[in-house]
Amino acid sequence: MNKEEKYELVEALTEQIKEYGNFYITDTADLTVAKVNDIRRKCFGSDIVMKVVKNSLIKKALEAAEGDYTPIFDTLKGTSTILFSKSAKAPAKLIKDLRKTGDKPRLKAAYVYSAAFVGDEQLDALMTLKSKEELVGDIIGLLQSPAKNVLSALQSGGTTIAGLVKTLQEREG
């Protein structure tokens, strides 16, 4: 790969980092070509973009992108595969599913919702993350709950409130 091709690859990676916002870096060393191709097929089926890239090029792309990726730099050793996804937990689910048949791919690091997760032990935490849509739904549900309770109380006690208002009006008169 010549210098111009490396430059173009770094630019493309930088754009993908900015576009997706979520990415996982995994260790796929010692996997057979058949296994890597199987992972590629599963990534495609899950709307995950998979790229096997040199660590030095990943680091240059991270440096060119906006954000604090320094915690990830130490994980860029050995063979690295980068997974891009719009969904924060889709790659975590895929990795967990793939691990049912072997010990790889192993999670080196992930960058999700502007936070770095370093180490394979973070996989379970990443699987439980809620999407932005799920969080917004939870917040709306929490905000609606008190209003629903007040409306429910007013509707069920409508005759009581009417009687209370009538009594107060009679006392004033």
Distant-in-sequence, close-in-space partners of 65: CB < 8 Å, separation ≥ 6? 14, 17, 18
Instruction: Map tokens 């996982």 to a residue.
Output: 24
Q: For 71-93, what is the mean pLDDT? A: 91
The confidence score (pLDDT) of residue 150 equals 62
CA distances 12 to 6, 110, 127, 146, Å, are 10, 19, 27, 48
Residue 158 has pLDDT above 60, yes or no: no
pLDDT tens track for 88-122: 888 999 999 988 888 889 999 999 888 899 999 98
- In this structure, the answer to whether residues 33 and 47 fall within a common structural domain is yes
- In this structure, the answer to whether residues 83 and 168 fall within a common structural domain is no
Q: Where are the beta strands (DSSP E) in 18-165?
A: 23-27, 49-52, 81-84, 106-112, 115-118
Q: What is the C-alpha to C-alpha distance for residues 58 and 46, in angstroms, rounded to an integer?
A: 23
Which domain does 156 fall in, by range? 132-172
Band the pLDDT of 138: cuts 50, 70, 90: confident
- In this structure, the answer to whether residues 121 and 144 fall within a common structural domain is no
Q: Are 142 and 134 in contact (CB under 8 A)?
A: no
- In this structure, the answer to whether residues 87 and 38 fall within a common structural domain is yes
pTM: 0.74
- In this structure, the answer to whether residues 115 and 81 fall within a common structural domain is yes
- In this structure, the answer to whether residues 163 and 105 fall within a common structural domain is no
Number of domains making up the chain:
2
